[in-house]
């Protein structure tokens, strides 16, 4: 086993210990070369279970959080998925082999350009990205079987609920946008209403409406 393979193996073992047990999710994480999504000063930590800065005040989530969010979504290979917050593109690269089509919205143009370049380099062709206000979703492509939000909001954005299919699932961090008292929640849209289940304490950057001046 090469040193690189050994680092991936150790990371996957750690994710299993933290509750990521879905074989498809673990295989997807194992195939994604995370070092492609990490800024040069942090490459030595690419396969550590830590969040790392990617610029514009954003981060690439720690692999454990990526794994648990992806696992909670229960994505099927025929599903259409919406991601809010493309960031580095790492979460999109993990989701891509699990679904039919992924649509991803990012509000920072430089991050979006870099993420698209990484996905092209890795020949991931079922992901479409665009610049936009994530709180508004992507209405032209709605409805979605699954929605994943990688920024924290005090409440579920109404537009995203509208764009989620009946019986669809959404995963997002809810709570204090200052980074304290946030929880990942799994939301199931049922005929009886919303079933909201918290499953992990987290700290995400805030979901911000509108586009920055860049």
Is 2 part of the annotated catalytic residue set?
no
Interatomic CA distance for residues 204 and 149, integer angstroms: 10
**SS3 of residue 65 by DSSP:** helix
List CB contacts of 194: < 8 A, sequence separation 6 or more.
156, 161, 187, 188
Interatomic CA distance for residues 97 and 6, integer angstroms: 23
How far does CA 36 lie from the centroid of its chain? Answer: 16
- The active-site residue, picked from 6, 61, 88, 113, is 61
Q: From the DSSP assignment, how many helices (H) and strands (E) are in the chain?
A: 6, 9
**SS3 of residue 80 by DSSP:** strand
Catalytic residue positions, numbered: 61
């Amino acid at each position: 086993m090469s040193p690189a393979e050994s680092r991936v193996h150790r990371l996957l073992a750690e994710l299993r210990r933290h509750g990521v047990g879905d074989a498809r999710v673990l295989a997807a994480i194992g195939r994604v070369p995370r070092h492609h999504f990490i800024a040069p000063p942090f490459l030595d930590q690419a396969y550590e279970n830590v969040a790392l800065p990617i610029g514009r005040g954003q981060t690439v989530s720690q692999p454990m959080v990526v794994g648990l969010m992806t696992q909670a979504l229960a994505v099927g290979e025929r599903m259409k998925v919406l991601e809010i917050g493309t960031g580095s593109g790492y979460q999109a690269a993990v989701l891509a082999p699990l679904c039919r089509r992924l649509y991803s919205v990012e509000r920072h143009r430089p991050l979006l350009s870099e993420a698209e370049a990484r996905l092209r380099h890795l020949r991931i062709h079922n992901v479409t990205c665009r610049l936009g206000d994530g709180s508004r979703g992507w209405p032209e492509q709605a409805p979605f079987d699954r929605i994943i939000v990688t920024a924290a909001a005090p409440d579920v954005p109404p537009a995203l609920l509208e764009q989620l299919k009946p019986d669809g699932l959404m995963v997002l961090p809810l709570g204090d946008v200052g980074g304290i008292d946030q929880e990942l929640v799994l939301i199931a849209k049922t005929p009886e209403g919303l079933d909201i289940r918290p499953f992990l304490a987290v700290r995400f950057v805030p979901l911000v409406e509108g586009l920055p001046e860049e």
